[in-house]
A = this chain, B = another copy of it.
Amino acid sequence: MLNKLENKDLKNIFLFSELSEEELNEIRSFSHLKKFDKGEILSFDSEPYSGFYCTLDGAVKLYKISSEGKEHILHIIYPYNTFAEVPIFENYGEVVKNNATYPLNAMAIEDNTVVIIIPARPLLNFLENNPKLYLKMLSTLSKRLRFLNNHIENLTLLDVKKRLSKYLLEKLKEAELNKENIEKKKGIKLKKINSIELSISKNDLSSHLGTILETLSRTFKKLQDEKIIEVDSKKITILDFQKLKEISK
């Protein structure tokens, strides 16, 4: 159980992955951990400085909510991924004024979700002395921009069936990459992956896909009736990869 921040935790974060032990110590000196239970909101305001976050354990959803209570999840953040960088940089210089606003809301979606909080001011100082990190940061933000562009494409140009198909294919690809990593690391050969385990509730999934639970349920059923997938609670088996790919286009 994660209770104290160690250098090895920081090393897993892309931005810090190439830092020396001393440098990691420095990062640690101005960062701190915080733990949340499922459903708890990560209230950005309560922190001394606005800064950015990284999930170390559990999962966090980043979402927008309308005046009528409708929710849309833009990102699900898993361990070692950072979020809430925007307010640090968008008006740099003004950031310490404590009135920064975060574009998104954040909520833990698993018990014992641990995040590390890295305050803006010391981080900006650190970056200035280690300009090589700027490119890493630019890379992270650029990847997120591409993700959001694709997300908008999905939401505006595809119907729910296509969006769900695309999501399933992405998760399958992730699982495959993960498998290959394990194979390489352990020097073993694992059997081909043809199923995925949904890591979030179907309600959260529907919110991420820009629809509602009932419509998602019906769309799963349609794909199952067409013998393209098999749904067993959270386990989705892909029966016809080609057809799924065809639909997602």
Binding site for B on A (CB under 8 A): 64-67, 70-72, 74, 85-92, 103-104, 128, 131, 134-135, 137-139, 141-146, 148-153, 155-158, 210, 249
Nearest neighbor of A104 in chain B, beta-carbon distance:
B149
Q: What number of copies of this chain does the assembly contain?
A: 2
Known pairs A152-B152, A156-B210 / 20 extra A-B pairs, C-beta < 8 Å = A66-B157, A67-B249, A70-B156, A86-B142, A86-B145, A89-B135, A89-B138, A90-B139, A91-B139, A92-B135, A103-B150, A131-B131, A131-B134, A134-B135, A137-B138, A145-B145, A145-B148, A148-B148, A148-B149, A155-B155
A103 proximity list for chain B (CB < 8 A): 145-146, 149-150
How far does the Cβ of A126 sit from chain B's closest Cβ, in whole Å?
13
The answer to whether A146 and B86 touch across the interface, beta carbons within 8 angstroms, is: yes
A66 proximity list for chain B (CB < 8 A): 153, 157-158
A146 proximity list for chain B (CB < 8 A): 86, 90, 103
Nearest neighbor of A249 in chain B, beta-carbon distance:
B67
A158 proximity list for chain B (CB < 8 A): 66
A135 proximity list for chain B (CB < 8 A): 89, 92, 134
Q: How far is the CA of A41 from the CA of B208 in the complex (A)?
A: 32
How far does the Cβ of A52 sit from chain B's closest Cβ, in whole Å?
11
Question: Which of A64, A92, A141 has the largest number of chain B CB atoms within 10 A?
Answer: A141
A67 proximity list for chain B (CB < 8 A): 249
Q: How far is the CA of A142 from the CA of B85 in the complex (A)?
A: 8
Q: How far is the CA of A146 from the CA of B86 in the complex (A)?
A: 7
